[in-house]
Amino acid sequence: MPTASEPVPRGVFPVCSGETLVEDGYGGCQTSSSSSSSYGHSFLCEPDPVAMAAMKPVCPPSSPPTSAFTSLTVSVVPGVGYVFANATSCQPIKQSESGFLTGLFNATSGIVIIPEKGVDPRAYAPYARAMTAAGAFAVIVTDINEANVVRALSISLSPPRIWAVMGHGTYGGALATLLARSLYPRITTLILHAAAIPPDIDFSQGPLGNLDVVLNYGLLDSIVPPSKIHNSFQRVPGDVSANPFPLKGHYDFAYSTCHENHVGHGEGRGPRQESAMSAKDEMILLRQFTLVRPDPFAQTTARGLSYGDNTLLRPGRNDSKIYPKGGMLVEQIRLTLPQRHSAAGTKEPVRSLWILKPNHAPRGGYVYVAGAYVDPTAYFPFLFQVAAQGYLVALPQMERRLSLDPMLADQVLAFDHPILRTVPHNKWAIGGHSLGGYCAFSYASLPQRHNIVAVVTHSGLFTLPFGLLPSTVNLSQSSLPVCQIYGSLDGVVLGDPEYFRYSANDPPPRGRGLIANLTATRFIRMEGANHQQVGEYGSQTNDIIATIGHVEQETTYAQLTVDCLNEAMGYTASKHA
């Protein structure tokens, strides 16, 4: 083994296990009892036992295997940092002469973690491990500078296409923010712990408005106080995820011996020996990593955005929109949802509520929730035709573009705004596309909610498909009218009525029992339609090519939606009595 004065050789990096959990940067391993990192730096905030356990690889793989990957390795790459990866075997990871690592699972997404100054990089190992367990690639930077972070993004012969970057504190957070701005869209997700957006950086508009931003902050933080985070809200996208933690200080976002706002022993107290993370905090924070997208956020196409241009919605122009026969003029209005303030003094980011409003008194209102990772404006063309037939449509902006909170609909229905007050009393319905349908069904199942007269969804999910929440919505005992409209060529949500009627946890037709009231629910199948043509956001993985045109699918879906709303609100007699 070379001495510390010799250059680090290229070649083999061992997979350490047992008491020797961490490679020492020179081809060997060091024990977990060492108080310095593998690069010889001393840190005031040492990794706690939870962090050190997360540094331990899974090799050989567990039996039975807990994932589709063969093994989880933890290696040190000189000049970069700790690399967490799913390897193809338990053989040591190798570095080629060109500097690339070989023998790694080809992940489609990855994360680079940038520590706060004074915190041992190993204190972030649980975050890296969570990302790797989800099939991604993770690097904790040790020698922290911009060049090393960029090197981490190209460490493999087949590097991930999409990267997230996480930064902690004034040091790691500032560098992570700068890199997200300069390397978007290669970096698509920015996660900040106890860090504010610098005043000269604005992610709120333009292409950077599609950056996935997560802000985690402690209400006990005196180094980066909550007021600085709140001031950042005006410079981040409206779908930012902002998460206040009432009992956390600055250093409590790392799994280290430092606690609250103190490094080392701090005010005469000994170093923390237990984990700084509560089980609830850990679940919230680690779940954020499993939500990192393998693809960038879906952006609304130019055609979709054109339906938000009121000039183009006025008839008489060569490029004006085609209204349904007898349709009303439609205006697009962008409102701001009221910010909710807590007793602890926190507040929410500013989120938009897009309104498609007919120019006559509306027949009813329709809250529509976008599908996962899709900008709500992508549904303008389809919902324009619903609005033109007399319904006021409200599209709320969602945290991280994920419609997991059914109270999102409640927030819209509780919004006392003059425009929303034009909707007749007890004439509101709710709907959504794909995961947005799950939000609609979830809201409909709540025992206490605002009155709604119907649920009209488009390939709506009754069950979450990716383990975010172990929940299946059950409306089998509800008499609320439901229309589930779907395409025969939907490759994302199976285009089979049996899939929607029974629990998705077991194969149809029996499943674990009905989850829909077959008397109150209509399943409307459209031949040749697929999943993505409900909106204007481009192609979608796993979907099937439609055999009908985009405009035809939008027009037909809009008419089917209006028919369901008219029937539920008593404007037409039921055809399915």
- Parts of the chain belonging to CATH 3.40.50.1820: 12-290, 302-340+351-568
DSSP code of residue 162: E
* d(C-alpha 292, C-alpha 400), whole Å: 10
Q: Do 457 and 439 form a contact (C-beta atoms < 8 A)? A: no
- CATH 3.40.50.1820: does it fit domain 12-290? yes
pLDDT of residue 151: 76
For residues 28-57, give the mean pLDDT.
Answer: 67
Q: Do 497 and 569 form a contact (C-beta atoms < 8 A)? A: no
**Residue 12 predicted with pLDDT over 70:** no
Who contacts 370 (Cβ-Cβ below 8 Å, separation ≥6)? 376, 378, 379, 395, 398, 401, 403, 432, 433, 436, 535
Buried b (16+ CB within 10 A) or exposed e, 248-258: bbbbbbbbbbb
pLDDT in tens, 85-104: 876 566 555 666 555 565 55
**Residue 440 predicted with pLDDT over 70:** yes
Helix and strand element counts for the chain (H, E): 12, 21
In this prediction, residue 222 has a pLDDT band, given cuts at 50, 70 and 90, of: very high
Judged by average pLDDT, the poorest of 83-92, 304-313, 480-489 is 83-92
Tell the CATH superfamily of the 302-340+351-568 domain: Alpha/Beta hydrolase fold, catalytic domain (3.40.50.1820)
pTM of the model: 0.83
**Residue 7 predicted with pLDDT over 50:** no
* d(C-alpha 168, C-alpha 176), whole Å: 8
Higher pLDDT, 255 or 59: 255
Strand residue runs (E) in 89-161: 93-95, 101-102, 109-114, 137-141
pLDDT in tens, 192-204: 999 999 999 999 9
**Residue 162 predicted with pLDDT over 60:** yes
pLDDT in tens, 233-256: 989 999 999 999 988 999 999 999
pLDDT of residue 456: 97
* d(C-alpha 167, C-alpha 160), whole Å: 19
Average pLDDT, the chain: 81
Of 29-43, 169-183, 286-300, 329-343, which has the strongest mean pLDDT? Answer: 169-183
